Amino acid sequence: MADKTGAVPGFGVYVHWPFCAAKCPYCDFNSHVRHTPVDQARFVASFVREIETFASRTGKRSVESVFFGGGTPSLMLPSTVEAILTAIDRNWGLSASAEISLEANPSSVEAERFKGYRAAGVNRLSLGVQSLRDEQLRFLGRLHDVETAISAIAIAREIFPRMSFDLIYARPGQTGRQWAEELTEAIDLAADHLSLYQLTIEQGTPFFDLRRTGKLAMPSTDEAADLYELTQEICTNNGLLAYETSNHARPGFECAHNMIYWRMGDYAGVGPGAHGRLTLGRSRFATSNERHPETWLDLVDAKGNALVDDTMLTWEEQGDEFLLMGLRLSEGIDLERYTLFGGREIDPERLDDLIEHGMIERIGGSRVRTTPAGALVLDAVVADLAA
């Protein structure tokens, strides 16, 4: 369903490749290190079977985007990527204009595969650079150095129509001046898109244990907010607009797959630990798969899926998700569309109060969005609107 901007979220497919060469100390994603070669042919067979199972449930849908995430999808053989894309096209149908993204680590070995991924159908590469400082790459547990990252960026720009890379900031001891210099260098290297994330400490990671024992001192809330505001200023001044809280792009180069998430579109989550959202009839379902790769294989082989959650969302859950996702976007949300998802209207008094306090602003018709001040306390804004 389109909103008042005319934007139709579309249908996407997220494919999770769960393997990494090493586990980064800040990472809480579903990633696993294997010290013997992964049987990619067996994984392909299970990916294909799971795709068939999801497609039998949804029926034919035009796939507007495919995103290979991880883990480290650039550990996949190009033939593995091609086989999965062929199965997606056969079972659902790939749109002629589909965005097909693949996350990659910028090691030289993986960069050599870039032409193979492009031939397989990938037209957008997302590089996990994370820093342009060698000592910070070592701190973050990355296996590449800055020289290798810059080389991979140059190769990606030559091969892929679209390219993005990630950086992590608000690192321990990082000053505004240091971040401004690094970010300006990144903008000079970037073609059309940057994803800029503040370092967050997640439970279950080595960084969490270091912080708990006082061995990792993170920036204060105010320091992190200052770095966020500096990020917005520098990117805006250089034409990379913040179309979402952590994502910046030149107009027309926004990540189509992530826009499906933020606009509450449907997407099938395929692979170990993958999550999905599917509208079937008048109901919307949240799905998630078994996280352990080999257990996922056995389950898919046995019954065609490895679902550990397949829950019909309530009106309230849909409404909360709509607010949390949509208010991350600079385009904001359509309040009438919120009513369709949430089954009720937002309390006008609460909305007016947030507007009066400079957290929310109207942007025409029935659309609202967070202000820069509101974006800094987004969770609190969402909680107030949803109450």
Report the mean per-residue pLDDT for the chain. 94
Tell the residue number behind the tokens 């790459």, with chain if given: 137
CA 270, chain centre distance (Å): 15
CATH 3.20.20.70 fits 11-261, yes or no: yes
| CA–CA dist 20, 70 (Å, integer) | 8
Q: Is 372 in a helix, a strand, or coil?
A: helix
How is residue 58 written in tokens? 């949804």
DSSP strand pairing (94-104 vs 124-130): parallel
pLDDT at 8: 61
Q: What is the pTM of this model?
A: 0.95
Phi, psi of 248 (to 5 degrees): -130, 135
Phi and psi at 274, nearest 5°, equal -70, 145
Kindly tell me the burial class for residue 109, based on how many C-beta atoms sit within 10 Å of its own C-beta (0-12, 13-18, 19 or more): exposed
Rounded CA-CA distance 200/351 in Å is: 30
Find the mean pLDDT for residues 252-259.
96
H or E, element range at 310: strand 307-312
What percent of the chain lies above the pLDDT cut of 70?
A: 98
pLDDT value at residue 2: 46
